[in-house]
Copies of this chain bind each other. A is one copy, B any other.
Amino acid sequence: MASPPLFDLKTYLQLKRQQVNDRLVRSLPTAASSTIADAMVYSVMAGGKRLRPVLCLAAAETVGGRSEDAINTAVAIELIHTYSLIHDDLPAMDDDVLRRGKPTCHVAYDEATAILTGDALLTLAFQLLASPQGTAGVPADRRLQVIDLIAAAAGYEGMIGGQMADIDSEGSRIDLSRLEQLHLMKTGALINAAITTGGILGGGTSEQIRHLHQYAQNIGLAFQIIDDILNVEGDPALLGKAVGTDQEKKKSTYPALLGLVESRKLAANRVKEALQALEYFDRKADPLRAIAKYVIDRKR
């Protein structure tokens, strides 16, 4: 008897990225219409792995829902992610000149435009979340819950709080538990929101959401550990951004605190725990399983 065909992540990612990019293009203004529209399109369509939106769609399907009911939310989360990169790259923040292999927004345009473009993408994200298109099949109170979760994840108790703590801790040594806390906020919260809201929009039960949440917490930390490792030994050409910048800024990172070997082990453990959380689900969780392995093997 033939074993079931292996899940083909490459094709899956291609399809889902296409779905995300198509909706992104439809959600963004026409580039030619104004400077701000141009900068919005430039920043969002510069590429990127689209990891968060794909996770959101995959989570909806994992609980037996339709990815169409989550596509608007997936796209909104990618807009929020992109806005956070634009603002993080600003001279007053990380002062980065390269992102996704292209000049950062404030380099391609100017600082004022980059600040406003980030603001505009964040605002557009919430407009999308509130608009009836793309989530028409989902009850209004569930859509409000999704907005609440995403705003909390992106706000001062989540992503923004993590970024602030990251800046505050530059140059000073923090311990592992503080670093983990920081990353759970800075990158973990939005990844978590992507997966949890995908599950909610897919009509998941509270038990299913609980397992998705466990998966998300672990995958989020694994992702960040690998990010730190790639900043040490990654290939700038593949990454589309500079490496070695964390060390330059004396940032507390996993490799700085634990060394590369231990960091890699920690990431592998996190992925193992993420996979355990998925044992609750059937084959519909195969995309999330494959993404967990991809997160740790990725070169960019």
Contacts and interface: CB of A to CB of B under 8 A. Distances in A.
A34 B151 contact: no
A35 interface: yes
Interface stretch (A7-15, A61-69, A153-161, A215-223): A153-161
Contacts of A127: 147-148, 151-152, 155
Contacts of A98: none
A22 interface: no
A113 interface: yes
B140 A126 contact: no
Number of copies: 2
Contact of A160 (B116, B147, B156, B160): B116
Interface stretch (A85-93, A268-276, A277-285, A292-300): A85-93
Interface of A: 29, 34-37, 40, 83, 87, 90, 92-93, 110-113, 115-116, 118-120, 122-124, 126-127, 129-132, 139-141, 143-145, 147-148, 151-152, 154-157, 160-161, 163-165, 167-168
14 contacts: A34-B156, A34-B161, A34-B164, A36-B161, A93-B112, A112-B167, A116-B164, A119-B160, A123-B151, A126-B147, A129-B147, A130-B148, A132-B144, A140-B140
